């Protein structure tokens, strides 16, 4: 969700520049920087951004340059007289100083004025309309840049989903899920439990056996992972903002992967579970970059 655009324009002797910047964010956060007297544009600018974007930290800045009007040169005589008087006073205090020169005094800031500045009129409806139109164009340029980035990220996310799907397929085909092997493991575990739990009550023994059986079967977690994969692919194919939905789905992905790792009683299945967690984390990190 990174993007940048810069758009300039002119109106009635004034030049203006809009800058729009966007970086990643979980939600939508807008900041505006407007010249004094033009705060009334804030609401319209925010509404324009909210119509286009759903996520990201966005900053909109407007700068205006007041062009000087052509006119006769003017001398600030009061300032010039004050400077001459100060120069003479210091010349008396330090006779070694060079006396002031006219060209040097005229070069001082504020002594000579080249014309009158055209101050922007905040009540100029045409100026306000031109500024808002420029803001819309700047936002449109940034949206196009973000869309290009989104296309590239879409390919990356699809590849990460393929990696997750590959690991889920490996888990389904794991020998640890073979019915005959599961049955043999359960028999061994139950025999050990019965031998060690001679003093256990029937109710407690039943609870332990039920827990043992539930931990031996991870097909439910794998089915949910497959369902999450289907949902994620549909979201990526949708022509609408899905970043926050995918962000939530990543939590569900991670929950199933954690359960798979905690239930796994086979080193091969444990490795697959850890691989799933790593791939899901990579997917989650990239999801933060899309709208």
Helix, coil or strand: residue 271? helix
pLDDT reading at 201 higher than 90: no
- Residues whose CB is less than 8 angstroms from the CB of residue 204 and which lie 6 or more positions away in sequence, other chains included: 197
pLDDT of res. 210: 54
Residues 152 and 131 in one domain: no
What pLDDT is stored for residue 192 in this prediction?
Answer: 64
Identify whether residues 36 and 86 lie together within a single domain: no
**pLDDT at res. 230:** 94
Q: How far apart are the first and last CA of the chain?
A: 6
Find all residues with CB under 8 Å of 234, minimum gap 6, and list them. Answer: none
**164: CB partners within 8 A, 6+ apart:** 225, 229, 253, 276, 279, 280, 283
Query: Helix, strand or coil for residue 16?
Result: strand
Q: What is the mean pLDDT of the segment spanning 80-105?
A: 75
Same domain, 22 and 129: yes
Question: In the prediction, which pLDDT does 284 show?
Answer: 92
Tell me which H or E stretch contains 58. Answer: strand 56-66
Instruction: Please tell me whether residues 254 and 186 are part of one structural domain.
Output: yes
| 118 within a domain of the structure (yes/no) | no
How many domains, in total, are found in the chain?
3
The answer to whether residues 139 and 241 belong to one domain is no
CATH classification at residue 11: 3.30.230.10
Q: Would you say residue 228 lies in a domain?
A: yes
User: Residue 108: what pLDDT?
Assistant: 77
Domain residues for 133?
A: 3-69+124-145
Examine the domain organization and report whether 91 and 35 are in the same domain. no
Helices (H), the chain: 42-52, 77-93, 102-106, 125-172, 179-196, 202-216, 219-237, 243-263, 267-287
Shared-domain flag, residues 46 and 89? no
Which tens digits make up the pLDDT trace of 214-242? 555 678 888 999 999 999 999 999 888 88
Residue with tokens 């993007």: 3
pTM, rounded to two decimals: 0.61
- Report strand pairing: 28-33 vs 56-66: parallel
Residue bearing tokens 């332990």: 208
Examine residue 119 and state whether it is found in any structural domain, yes or no.
Answer: no
Q: Which two tokens stand for residue 101?
A: 């020169």
Same domain, 80 and 12: no
């Amino acid at each position: 969700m990174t993007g940048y655009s810069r758009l300039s324009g002119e109106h009635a002797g004034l030049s203006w520049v809009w800058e729009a910047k966007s970086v990643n964010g979980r939600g939508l956060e807008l900041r505006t920087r407007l010249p004094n007297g033009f705060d009334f544009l804030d609401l319209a600018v925010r509404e324009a951004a909210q119509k286009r974007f759903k996520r990201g930290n966005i900053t909109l800045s407007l700068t205006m340059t007041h062009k000087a009007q052509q006119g006769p040169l003017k001398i600030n005589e009061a300032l010039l007289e004050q400077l001459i008087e100060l120069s003479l006073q210091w010349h008396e205090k330090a006779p070694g100083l060079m006396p002031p020169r006219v060209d040097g005094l005229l070069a001082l800031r504020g002594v000579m004025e080249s014309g009158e500045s055209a101050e922007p009129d905040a009540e100029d409806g045409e100026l306000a309309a031109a500024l808002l139109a420029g803001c819309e164009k700047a936002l449109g340029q940034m949206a196009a840049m973000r869309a290009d980035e989104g296309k590239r990220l879409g390919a990356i996310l699809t590849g990460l989903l393929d990696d997750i799907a590959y690991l889920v397929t490996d888990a389904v085909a794991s020998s640890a899920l073979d019915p005959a092997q599961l049955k043999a493991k359960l028999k061994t575990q139950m025999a050990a439990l019965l031998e060690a739990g001679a003093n256990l009550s029937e109710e407690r023994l039943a609870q332990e056996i039920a827990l043992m059986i539930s931990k031996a079967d991870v097909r439910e977690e794998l089915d949910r992972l497959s369902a999450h994969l289907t949902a994620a692919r549909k979201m990526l194919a949708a022509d609408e903002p899905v970043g926050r939905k995918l962000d939530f789905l990543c939590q569900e992905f991670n929950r199933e992967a954690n359960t798979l790792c905690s239930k796994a009683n086979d080193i091969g299945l444990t490795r697959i579970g850890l691989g799933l967690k790593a791939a899901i984390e990579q997917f989650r990190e990239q999801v933060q970059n899309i709208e």
